[in-house]
Amino acid sequence: MSAHDDYAGAGAHLEDMTLVRIFLVDDHEMLRDALAARLSLAPGVCVVGGAAVSDPLLLRRIELIRPDVVTVEIGHCGTDPRVLLGTLAEEFPELSVVALTDRTETALAVAAAKAGVIAWVPKESTIDHLVTVLRGAGLGQASYPSVHLGEVLRALRDDIRRARDRTGPLDMLSHREREVLASMVDGKRRSEIARELCVSTNTVRTHTHKILTKLGVGSSLEAVRIAVSSGMRPAAVPPPSEAHQRITGPKS
Dihedral over Cα of 225, 226, 231, 232: its sign: negative
Query: Which H, E and C letters describe 50-108, residue by residue?
Result: EECCCCCCHHHHHHHHCCCEEEECHHHCCCCCHHHHHHHHHHCCCCEEEEEECCCCHHH
Same-domain pairing of 105 and 215: no
CA–CA distance, 64 with 180 (Å, rounded to integer): 35
In this prediction, residue 167 has a pLDDT band, given cuts at 50, 70 and 90, of: low
| Mean pLDDT confidence for 84-102 | 89
Domain extent at residue 187? 175-229
What pLDDT shows up at residue 248?
43
CA–CA distance, 113 with 146 (Å, rounded to integer): 14
Task: Reply yes or no on whether the pLDDT at 247 is more than 90.
Answer: no
pLDDT tens figures, 138-162: 999 999 999 999 999 998 888 777 6
pTM, rounded to two decimals: 0.63
Q: How does strand 119-122 pair with strand 96-101?
A: parallel
Average pLDDT value for the chain: 84
What pLDDT shows up at residue 115?
85
The segment with the largest mean pLDDT, out of 10-14, 45-49, 175-179, 206-210, is: 45-49
Residue 167 domain-assigned (yes or no): no
| Mean pLDDT confidence for 111-115 | 89
Task: Reply yes or no on whether the pLDDT at 237 is more than 80.
Answer: no
Residue 219 domain-assigned (yes or no): yes
Q: What share of the chain has pLDDT > 90, as a percent?
A: 51
Task: Reply yes or no on whether the pLDDT at 14 is more than 50.
Answer: no
Same-domain pairing of 189 and 150: no
Q: At what angle do helices 106-114 and 82-91 cross, to 10 degrees?
A: 20
What pLDDT shows up at residue 163?
65
Same-domain pairing of 152 and 205: no
In this prediction, residue 98 has a pLDDT band, given cuts at 50, 70 and 90, of: very high
Amino acid sitting at position 180: V
Same-domain pairing of 94 and 190: no
Residue 252 domain-assigned (yes or no): no
Domain holding 204: CATH number? 1.10.10.10
pLDDT tens figures, 81-91: 878 888 888 78
